[in-house]
Structure 1
Amino acid sequence: MNETGPLSKTLKLAHTNLKALCWGDPADPPLLAIHGWLDNANSFRPLAPLIDNYFVVAIDLPGHGRSDHRPEHALYHFTDYVADVYQIAEFLGWSKFSILGHSMGAGIASLFAGTFADRVDKLLLIEGLGPLSIDENDLPALLAQSVTQRFASSAKKRSIALDKAIRARVQASPMKESSARLLLERGLQLGMEGWQWRSDSRLRLPSPWRMSEAQVAGFLTAISAKTLLITAIDDELWKGITPQTRLEQVADLTHLELPGRHHLHMDYPEQVAELINQFLSPQDVLKTG
């Protein structure tokens, strides 16, 4: 069990400052934890202390949690998150490290592991394998939707009642109320007019571009790290958006299912940590046991 932390840390990158929570001994092997869309570093607060013998750094992605928002002219494009991960590793002085990603964070981790295969030791994915893809014929409509909504949207922050925010979070992605409260603890701020979301409203805009499934496959087949994919038995989200052919494209992948929904790592951290610790152990009990 990782009993040290969490300690707060600021990562000063080239064009932004990101916030992070850290657990464990910096002398231990590094593990970067990347949360999902509209979540934050608290996504890993129940799980990170249970991961043995690793220094865990859970980041707030740009526009999420307590990290800076991207500049006004910039978008939150999926591939830019890969550049963020690269900068984080450079800032921390990590030449090689392991990555733990949930949902969108798992997609980011997958792309990074395919792009910089020699930098990733082990890859741990929860409810995600690669980014969302699109049929090439649907790209013009996607770009049109992205552009029109971008210039029609309002940047004004609206206040929200705390109990309503909790209900909205649970309805958006079913999870225990305690897990939703933990995310909101870092995802809300108290302003003059009440509680407001910290996250950048532009995160909700449609992406101007997505990869085709063939392009995603190019990244997945380039992954050389030993990979663990954990998915929730009771969740249909991952199954609905992830082609099963992707499981065959990663050279060394172990896929395991656990009871729970999309945020199973928050709702049932002990069960998830048991699999992660077995996978990260030198003997890799999942393969030999």
Structure 2
Amino acid sequence: MTAQVEEIRLNLPHIELAAHLYGPEDGQPVIALHGWLDNANSFARLAPRLPGLRIAALDFAGHGLSSHRAPGASYLLWDYVADVLLVAEQLGWERFSLLGHSMGAIVSVMLAASMPDRIERLALIDGLMPYTGEAEQAPAKLGEALRAQLALPDKRKPVYADIDRAVQARMRGTGAVSREAAELLARRGLMPVHGGYTWRTDSRLTLPSPLRLTRAHALAFARAVQCPAMLVLAEEGLLHVEPNFASLLEGLSFEVRLLPGKHHLHLDDEAGAQAVADCFNPFFAIP
């Protein structure tokens, strides 16, 4: 399914981000947030199936065509949350909804919980809370992150002889995707280099986190969401297969739908994208 897409640049005070704009100018404002190491093309199949919405599908900092953060800056979840809020400011959107997949869903929950007066609706795809860690693990986790930062200058991104090899690698990567999905992500995520192609993503994105939220922190964000929220889970995704995940949903007012497919069910094929759209269209249409 094709749709007219506008490529835009957003000049925030500290960084330039890239985005795709879908839908009518007077549509309901929605900011779409992709997963870790993906890009705005994550929504290339889904966004055209959500009529009546004005969707700004971002490339997160360090991803896709967006700029990388300055030396010494970080890629922590709350940094992304602040970026999204600044994007809304630049777009002139006082109230808006969030459409998030995976890491983008986590960022969406954190923003909706912390700024409830700004968020209209929350549409999530196979993502809810970040990986957590408890207090006693914090010193070891920080040490791991510091050692990785020291080793970063010697780290080299893989170079693929041709685009097809890069696509095959993405198909096997974290959150494995279909060939068509990998090709869509590669269109926006690859750049030519000596010897072939490599991913545009900032190498710092693969560094271990220096600090993780505790389980109590993560649950507090999810429970603080006040706006209408829908969570679409993939039967073969990263959440539904997690032990005790059902218990995490207890006490949350989220509407939950379970659909066939893997973690990128909204991108892997046309049927999956339509199934997700069939969930979200009535959700966004509720007065």
TM-score (norm 1): 0.92
- In structure 1, runs of 5+ residues without a counterpart are 284-289
Equivalenced residue count is 281
What letter is aligned with 2:276?
Answer: V
Equivalent AA in structure 1 for residue 259 of structure 2: L
- % same residue: 39
Q: Distance between the aligned counterparts of 2:20 and 2:29, measured in 1?
A: 13
AA matched with 1:218: A
Secondary structure at the aligned position of 1:117 is classed as coil
Aligned counterparts of 2:240 and 2:198: Cα–Cα separation in 1: 29
Match for 1:278 among 268, 282, 285? 282
TM-score (norm 2): 0.93
Structure 2 counterpart of 1:96: 95
CA shift, 1:280, in A, is 1.1
The answer to whether 1:105 aligns with 2:101 is no
Structure 2 residues without counterparts, runs of 5 or longer: none
1:55 aligned to 2:77? no
State the partner residue of 1:169: 170
Of residues 195, 198, 201 in structure 1, which corresponds to 2:200? 198
CA contact (8 A) 2:166 2:198 kept: no
Using the alignment, how far apart are the partners of 1:215 and 1:170 within structure 2? Answer: 33
- CA drift of 1:141 comes to 1.1
The letter of the residue matching 1:195 is Y
Amino acid of the residue matched to residue 282 of structure 1? I
Q: Distance in 2 between matches of 1:149 and 1:108?
A: 24
2:118 corresponding residue in structure 1: 119
Distance in 2 (alpha carbons) for counterparts of 1:236 and 1:220: 17
- Judge conservation of contact 1:44–1:266 (CA < 8 Å) in 2: yes
Quick check: 2:23–2:55 contact (8 Å CA) kept in 1? yes
8 Å contact 2:75–2:205 — kept in the other structure?
yes
Quote the residue 1:286 is aligned against: none
Is the CA contact (8 Å cut-off) linking 2:102 and 2:127 kept in structure 1?
yes
Q: 1:5–1:23: 8 Å Cα contact kept in structure 2?
A: yes
- Match of 1:260, SS state, is strand
The amino acid that maps onto 1:86 is L
Paired with 1:130 and 1:120, the residues of 2 have a C-alpha distance of 18
Per-residue deviation, 1:140: 1.1
Q: Which moved more, 1:258-267 or 1:233-242?
A: 233-242
> Does the CA-based 8 Å contact 2:126-2:237 persist in structure 1?
no
The answer to whether the Cα contact below 8 Å between 2:133 and 2:213 also exists between their aligned partners in 1 is yes
Tell me the equivalent position of 1:262.
Answer: 263
Q: Which amino acid aligns with 2:88?
A: A
Distance 1:142 1:241, change over 3 A: farther
Q: Deviations over 1:79-113 (max 9, x none)?
A: 11111111111111111100000000000000000
CA-atom RMSD in angstroms: 1.7
- Tell me, in whole angstroms, the C-alpha distance in 1 between the residues paired with 2:244 and 2:36: 16
